[in-house]
Amino acid sequence: MKEIDPKRSAVTMVDVAEAAGVSAITVSRSIRRPELVSEEARLRVAAAIERLGYVPDAAASALASKRTDVVGLLVPSLTNSVFSEVLRGIYDAVEETPYSVQIGNFRYSPSGEERLIRTFLRQKPAGMIVAGLDQTDSSRAMLERAECRVVQIMDQGPAPVDLAIGFSHRDGAVSAVEHLLEQGYERIGFMGARMDPRSQRRLAGFTEALKARGLFEARRVVTTPAASTVGLGGQLLGDLLARAPEVDAVFCNNDDLAAGALLEAARRGIEVPRQLGICGFNDLEMSRFLNPALSSVATPRYRIGRGALELLMQVIDAPEEKPEAVDLGTEIKARASTARRG
């Protein structure tokens, strides 16, 4: 049985110092800046640390030094496959630095986001990475007053709090619509779930692109506040076809929905791409292996993650630097699911 005894005072730096026959500060230095300590002292300290099972106290260190090596990361979801690539980029990049990442998941709740920002700022993070440009006023104010640099990721738009790296969701949607038009589709529908601010911008791009050509029909747009899943993609395709049976193509807000639509079309005997073109968004790993392969708008998720952390590292010791917002762009991946002319 595990023994938990919070009264037994833990080993402190002073204990280690006494055991090693040096002073506390030498212990501190041999942990943080070993090059400033003689090899002999360093070895004695290391041995004492090992022998006593010393674990430095992060809170005491943070309090005394007024700094931490934590980079706070705020995302709206960990289930959404989009963010897993971003995380991979961030983790890859942070591994090359002395910093560590702490994730907060606000689950698409603005008040949850405010709460998390407050919690993170209490810890005096070395930097913050937050998803999106659309924080509440109060969240935005906290980020603006924060004593650390802030990178907003995933999106692209005017007036970021500090730094920003992402892409234009509107432009991505426009390129999808243009691709579908090029392939000869003209009665194009839209399927969207969750409809967070970025999804809204994709819908806006979709709408604009079609309106510019006089091809927009409001009834061809189906959305739901529910979270995107493959199953929901099938349902939404059913809803769309019931409301607007004439649609010859559908732009899906993301690849989960698009995969669901593709599979549902197969179940209904609807031929893709001949009878119905389907285009997704994000270009998830699985999409190109579906039958037919799913066309999609590829988004630079990994590069956003890596880029965000690199941006932060670049400015973290240079408070005066302020790089421009970075637009990484998107790329349409034309595959069989929209190859009407092929």
Partner DNA sequence: CTGTTAGCGCTTTCAT
Partner DNA sequence: ATGAAAGCGCTAACAG
Residues making contact with a copy of itself (CB under 8 A): 1-2, 4-6, 10, 53, 55-63, 66, 68, 78-79, 81, 84-85, 87-88, 91, 100, 102-103, 105, 107, 118-119, 121-124, 144-145, 147-150, 161-162, 229-231, 234, 256, 259-260, 263-264, 266-267, 285-286, 288-291, 319, 322
Q: Which amino acid is at 63?
A: L
Residue 60 touching DNA (CB under 7 A) = yes
Say how many residues make up the chain: 342
Q: How far is the CB of 210 from a copy of itself (least distance, A)?
A: 29
Kindly identify the residues of this chain, within the stretch 6-25, that bind DNA according to CB under 7 A.
9-10, 12-14, 22-25
* Token output for 206: 């979709």
166 DSSP β-pair partners: 154, 327
- Nearest Cα to Cα of residue 77 among 288, 191, 229: 229
Q: Give the largest Cα separation in the chain, rounded.
A: 84
Cβ–Cβ < 8 Å for 166, 303 = no
Interface of this chain with DNA, residues 24 to 53, rule: CB under 7 A: 24-26, 28-29, 31-32, 35-38, 40-41
With beta carbons less than 8 A apart as the criterion, state whether 198 and 168 touch.
Answer: no
The span from the CA of 307 to the CA of 329, in Å, is 13
Place of tokens 């529910």: 226
Q: Cβ of 65: how many Cβ atoms within 10 Å?
A: 11
Find the shortest distance in angstroms from Cβ 125 to a copy of itself: 10
Cis peptide before 273 (omega within 30 of 0): yes
Choose which of 67, 211, 219, 243 interacts with DNA (CB under 7 A): 67
The span of 64-72, 167-175, 180-188, 230-238 binding DNA (CB under 7 A) equals: 64-72
3 vs 137 by CB, closer to DNA: 3
**Which CB, 91 or 216, lies closer to a copy of itself?**
91
Which residue's CB is nearer to DNA, number 65 or number 314? 65
Residue 87 CA to residue 125 CA, distance in Å, equals 18
Interface positions with DNA (CB under 7 A): 9-10, 12-14, 22-26, 28-29, 31-32, 35-38, 40-41, 56-57, 60-61, 63-67
